[in-house]
Amino acid sequence: MHEFRLPGVIHFGWGALEKLGEEGARLGARALVVTGRSAMKRTGVLDRVKAQLSRANVESLVFDQIEPDPRGTTVDAGAKLARREKCDVIIGLGGGSPMDAARAIAAMAELPGSIIDYARGKPIDRPGRPLINIATTAGTASEITSVSVVLDEERELKMGVKSPYWFARVAITDPELTMTMTPELTAATGLDALTHAVESYLSTGATPPSEALALRAIRLIGQHLRSAWSNGGDRGAREGMALGSMLAGMAFANSGLGLVHGLVHPIGARFGVPHGVACGRLLTCVLRFNATAVPQEVAAAGAALLGCAECSVEEAISAVERLVRDVGVPAGIGDLAIPNEQMESLAKEGLLSGAVRTNPRAVGEVEARAVLDEAQNST
């Protein structure tokens, strides 16, 4: 028996943002818009969001303090603001960080204590306030999932917190909002989406629905990421990437992920590597590691990426490596100059992630360190 969960309503396509006023009014009368410090103001999207809410008679307050890696203290501050201002709906606007933070803020507006308590294992026993998440990038799929990644500052760890209560009531994926993404952001978020899809497909938690969604996502990303990166105005490529990201999110929200997502969190937290870039740097090394356990699945993922009927494991891994390089991301982590004495602790911290539990091959500290060593020696 399988379980499959998604947000209550998903609006996808050009102009999907126009549904915000109607959905906001359905869920509340006073909204807290959670976003980053500058991008949504600079592109004018924040003004559009506020105008739509105003037309629907929904008052809005903006919390624009979200960092690239949301801190637990920032989430707690946002939740305190939501309670004090009696905001009855929370709206996440932006990429993965603002949407993750909005999800956690919606939860903590109803839960006692700090978000870090729950990141460290305290049970989540109730729903949060209604959440609307609006994606402005094509990669994280945080509008679709029930996971928030927050920074535990005391331990310097990025921690994933997950609950079936945490799916958004409304998810909005509008390709138009991705048209202003830079090539660098397009590459980072696109490789995050690819890693979501591949790890979901290989996951021990995969089900027939998640497998179908993951394969479709891999194919879309293979068709469109290079074009979206090289020509940001290509509407077909932007739509294809938005759809691929969304489908990958539907898949991994139900299947879980794998070792890549375990290892990238400590690397990102310590060395400031953007999450999706770190995913791309590690994906081929982890695929080689996992291929001994699930060679047919690795080959099938490669065939989807190449758009062909079948391919070998090595052809699959080579196809992933070419795509990563073609969008300007270096192979491996050797250029990061990670001190050798930190490799052991990176491996240990990577295993703390719940993502590793559904990796298709068993992983301990020795195996995680071996993967990191290979990535460090890659060129």
Q: Is 3 domain-assigned?
A: no
The share of the chain scoring above pLDDT 90, in percent, equals 89
What per-residue confidence (pLDDT) applies to 1?
A: 80
Amino acid at 72: G
- How far is 47 from 45, CA to CA, in rounded Å? 5
N-to-C CA span, the chain: 44
156 vs 360, higher pLDDT: 360
Phi, psi of 170 (to 5 degrees): -140, 130
Q: What is the CA radius of gyration of the chain?
A: 19
Ramachandran class of 94: left when φ > 0, alpha when ψ lies in -120 to 50, beta otherwise:
left
Q: Is 72 within 8 Å of 118 (Cβ atoms)?
A: no
Strand 59-66 and strand 9-12: the pairing is: unpaired
- How far is 159 from 162, CA to CA, in rounded Å? 10
C-alpha distances (whole Å) from 372 to each of 125, 246, 295, 340, 378 are 37, 29, 21, 11, 10
What per-residue confidence (pLDDT) applies to 348?
A: 93
C-alpha distances (whole Å) from 31 to each of 89, 160, 304 are 5, 25, 41
Amino acid at 225: L
Number of folded domains that form the chain: 2
| Per-residue pLDDT tens over the stretch 293-315 | 999 999 999 999 999 999 999 99
Mean pLDDT for the stretch of residues 334-340: 83
Domain co-membership, 99 together with 234:
no
Mean pLDDT for the stretch of residues 249-262: 97
Q: Is 251 domain-assigned?
A: yes
Domain co-membership, 155 together with 267:
no
| Per-residue pLDDT tens over the stretch 275-293 | 999 999 999 999 999 999 9
| Per-residue pLDDT tens over the stretch 72-121 | 999 999 999 999 999 999 999 999 999 999 999 999 999 999 999 999 99
- Residue 250's pLDDT band, with cuts at 50, 70 and 90, is very high
Q: Is 296 domain-assigned?
A: yes
Domain co-membership, 161 together with 244:
no
What per-residue confidence (pLDDT) applies to 341?
A: 81
Question: Considering 177, 207, 242, which residue would you say is the last residue of a domain?
Answer: 177
> What is the domain range of residue 113?
9-177
Can you list the pairs that 74-77 forms with residues at least 24 positions away whose Cβ atoms lie under 8 Å? Answer: 74/101, 75/101, 75/104, 75/105, 75/108, 75/115, 75/148, 75/150, 76/108, 76/114, 76/115
What per-residue confidence (pLDDT) applies to 202?
A: 98
Question: Considering 145, 177, 209, which residue would you say is the last residue of a domain?
Answer: 177
Mean pLDDT for the stretch of residues 10-37: 97
- How far is 128 from 145, CA to CA, in rounded Å? 15
- The residues facing 157 across adjacent strands are 152
- How far is 261 from 280, CA to CA, in rounded Å? 11
Above 90 in pLDDT, residue 164? yes
Q: Is 93 within 8 Å of 46 (Cβ atoms)?
A: yes
Q: Is 246 domain-assigned?
A: yes
Question: Considering 137, 153, 177, which residue would you say is the last residue of a domain?
Answer: 177
Above 90 in pLDDT, residue 163? yes
| Per-residue pLDDT tens over the stretch 212-224 | 999 999 999 999 9
Is 3 exposed, middle or buried, given 0-12, 13-18 or 19+ CB atoms closer than 10 A? exposed
CATH of the domain at 158: 3.40.50.1970
Average pLDDT, the chain: 95
What per-residue confidence (pLDDT) applies to 56?
A: 98
Q: Which residue has the tokens 């105008």?
A: 51
Mean pLDDT for the stretch of residues 326-330: 96
- Residue 4's pLDDT band, with cuts at 50, 70 and 90, is very high
- How far is 177 from 18, CA to CA, in rounded Å? 12
pTM of the predicted protein model: 0.95
- Secondary structure class of 112 (helix, strand, coil): coil
Q: What six digits make up the tokens of 218?
A: 């891999």
C-alpha distances (whole Å) from 43 to each of 179, 293, 321 are 10, 46, 33
Domain co-membership, 199 together with 326:
yes
What per-residue confidence (pLDDT) applies to 338?
A: 84
Domain co-membership, 123 together with 191:
no
Above 70 in pLDDT, residue 379? no
Mean pLDDT for the stretch of residues 164-192: 97
- How far is 138 from 134, CA to CA, in rounded Å? 11
Domain co-membership, 151 together with 205:
no
111 vs 338, higher pLDDT: 111
Domain co-membership, 192 together with 173:
no
